[in-house]
């Protein structure tokens, strides 16, 4: 029996931090069952601090590119997951997704303070993304 991976699209406003980290985490840890992609309501750049904190857990997203939602026009997904309130409001319906879900996270790109304080916020969001998405896909019975 051939297993077809579920396709998931993570959406955020700028496709620079949360959605990029979610794509990297899911492809790294759950890639045997899920194929993840990310996009934004606008394309910007991949945040260097997001790249740094992902590298710390063995995931290289340095070659990722920020993409606009239109890059996936015509493609279908099993899940479309918005990670920020703005994307959730801006994209209330995405035809390519059989199931739309919102799992919100604070935006680490808005963190202020010392470099250590900013890194702590990125670490926290990265770890929350891994924890919440793993729990979500377990609930959906995609992973054990």
State the catalytic residues.
Answer: 12, 84, 91
HSE-up of 139 (CA within 13 Å, CB side)?
7
- 43-59 burial, b if ≥16 CB within 10 A, otherwise e? bbebbebbbebbeeeeb
Q: In this structure, are residues 103 and 79 in contact, taking their beta carbons and an 8 Å threshold?
A: no
The first and second tokens of residue 79, run together, are 């899940």
Phi-psi map region of 15: left, alpha, beta (phi>0 left; psi -120 to 50 alpha):
left
């Amino acid at each position: 029996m051939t297993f077809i991976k579920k396709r998931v699209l993570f959406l955020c406003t700028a496709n620079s931090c949360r959605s990029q980290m979610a794509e990297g985490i899911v492809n790294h840890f759950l890639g045997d069952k899920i194929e993840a992609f990310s996009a934004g309501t606008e394309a910007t750049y991949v945040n260097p601090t997001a790249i740094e904190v992902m590298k710390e857990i063995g995931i290289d997203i340095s070659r990722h590119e920020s993409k606009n939602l239109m890059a996936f026009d015509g493609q279908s997904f099993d899940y479309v997951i918005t990670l920020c309130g703005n994307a959730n409001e801006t994209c209330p319906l995405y035809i390519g997704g059989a199931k739309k879900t919102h799992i919100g996270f604070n935006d680490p790109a808005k963190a202020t303070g010392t470099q250590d304080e900013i890194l702590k916020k990125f670490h926290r969001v990265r770890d929350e993304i891994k924890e919440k998405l793993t729990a979500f896909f377990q609930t959906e019975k995609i992973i054990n």
